Amino acid sequence: MTGYYIFISIYLYLLQWPGSFCDTGKQSCCYPNSGKPASEFLIHGLWPNNNDGSFPSNCDPNSSFDSSQISDLINSMDAEWPSMACPSSNSHSFWAHEWEKHGTCVESVFNEHDYFKAALNLKGKADGILQMLSSSGIEPNDNSYSLSSITEAIKGGIGYTPVIECNQDESGSSQLYQVYLCADTSASNFITCPVFPTESCSSDIKFPSF
């Protein structure tokens, strides 16, 4: 396989809670054409990264997203990787952004199809996050929970410490927004993160309903 490849150390794998995307009051939220997504953590991206936290981007301007390359993945993508941005869409522009900004930097390893397939496969390994939280008494019910309890619940289920990213709801309360996990250079297994993104959460954070 030919194409661009920038040496990377890990992949950052991002999962997003849709309730926290939708209730900030700062951005509109629209369900995709496929309908309201399930109440679960949804894929945001699979980003090649370096051990020092830096990352390559937009590596091949000649490699545009082609939806025909992932025709067999569309149903899974609609369910697991939908766009919640307005206006409502088929999510293709979101997927195009992710491929062109991040995927093109490893296209000597992954063609477009295999890049998205790798992200979907990782979702299968992290698909129980909501249940992991629930088993620790943490539910998406608009209540607040300690950041440490959320981190430990996910670590207990997956085996690796996640990084939790927060945003703020309309009232300014810190809330669970995204879960960051690290994957190896084959994007097939989770690993210990060599560097952690900056925390953006308070010690107690809200877990909004969706």
Residue 5 in domain = no
Confidence at residue 6, expressed as pLDDT on a 0 to 100 scale: 61
Residue 152 in domain = yes
Confidence band, pLDDT 50/70/90 cuts, at residue 71: very high
Could you read off the pLDDT of 131-149 as tens digits, one per residue? Answer: 999 999 999 999 999 999 9
Confidence band, pLDDT 50/70/90 cuts, at residue 120: very high
Confidence at residue 3, expressed as pLDDT on a 0 to 100 scale: 55
Residue 73 in domain = yes
* pLDDT, mean of residues 42-59: 92
Could you read off the pLDDT of 183-208 as tens digits, one per residue? Answer: 999 999 999 998 777 778 999 999 99
Residue 173 in domain = yes
Tell me how far apart the alpha carbons of residues 97 and 58 are, in angstroms, rounded to a whole number: 9
Long-range contacts of 101-104, Cβ-Cβ distance < 8 Å, separation of 24 or more: 101/57, 101/58, 102/45, 102/46, 102/47, 102/48, 102/55, 102/57, 103/46, 104/3, 104/4, 104/58, 104/59, 104/60, 104/63
Q: Which of the residues are catalytic?
A: 44, 98, 102
Confidence at residue 1, expressed as pLDDT on a 0 to 100 scale: 45
SS3 146: strand
The tokens 């998406």 sit on which residue?
140
Confidence at residue 121, expressed as pLDDT on a 0 to 100 scale: 98
Q: At what angle do helices 92-101 and 112-125 cross, to 10 degrees?
A: 100
Q: Is the peptide bond before 61 cis (omega within 30 degrees of 0)?
A: no
Confidence at residue 148, expressed as pLDDT on a 0 to 100 scale: 97
Structural domain boundaries, residue 200: 10-207
The mean of the pLDDT values for the chain is 93
The tokens 């927004």 sit on which residue?
177
Residue 2 in domain = no
State the amino acid at position 99 in one-letter form: W
- Domain of 198, CATH number, reads 3.90.730.10
